[in-house]
Amino acid sequence: MKKIEAIIRPSNLETLKAALNALEVRGMTVYNVMGRGLQKDVKQFYRGQEISIDLFPKVKVEIICRDHWLDRIIDVILEECSSGQIGDGKIFVYPIEDIIRISTGERGDAAL
């Protein structure tokens, strides 16, 4: 099993959710985060005081899946969230050791 963390633009969340649904991948956890990277700062002004903003609102979508699903899900994310512009975001893949469904106590794949 793998854990996929995709950091995307908030505006891509709905379309990504729909695409994953089509794939019958429903399970996901969504985080509200701020991100910094290659995207360049923007200026804001409060009573004439200039503020340079370097953290941008992003959404992190976390999906735990069986190994053989990994690439398919990554492809969907790339399809739905890539505009080719800096700031589209990143996908991180992590190992995961175990899963338990709280309602039933099932473990491993069965818990998904």
Residues that bind ligand ADP (CB under 6 A): 7, 27-29, 35-39, 56, 58, 62-64, 86-90, 101-103, 112
Q: How far apart are CA 20 and CA 73, in angstroms?
A: 8
| Minimum distance, C-beta of residue 48 to ligand ADP, in the bound complex (Å) | 28
Give the one entry of ligand ADP, other proteins, a copy of itself, none that residue 18 binds, where binding means its C-beta sits below a cut-off of 5 to 8 angstroms depending on kind.
Answer: other proteins
Angle at 68 between CA 85 and CA 12, to 5 degrees: 25
Q: Which of residues 9 and 46 has its CB atom nearest to ligand ADP in the complex?
A: 9
88 close to 68: Cβ distance less than 8 angstroms: no
| Minimum distance, C-beta of residue 47 to other proteins, in the bound complex (Å) | 5
- Give the C-alpha distances (Å, rounded to integers) separating 34 from 22, 24, 59: 28, 29, 8
Subset of 44-83 contacting a copy of itself (CB under 8 A): 54-55, 58, 60, 64, 74, 77-78, 81-83
Q: Would you count residue 84 as binding a copy of itself (CB under 8 A)?
A: yes
- Binding residues for other proteins, per CB under 8 A? 9-11, 13-15, 17-18, 30-34, 42-55, 57, 59
Residue 99's contacts (CB-CB under 8 Å, 6 or more residues apart) are 1, 64, 107, 108, 109, 111, 112
The residue type at 36: R
Q: What is the gyration radius of the CA atoms in the chain, in angstroms?
A: 17
Q: Which of residues 51 and 110 has its CB atom nearest to other proteins in the complex?
A: 51
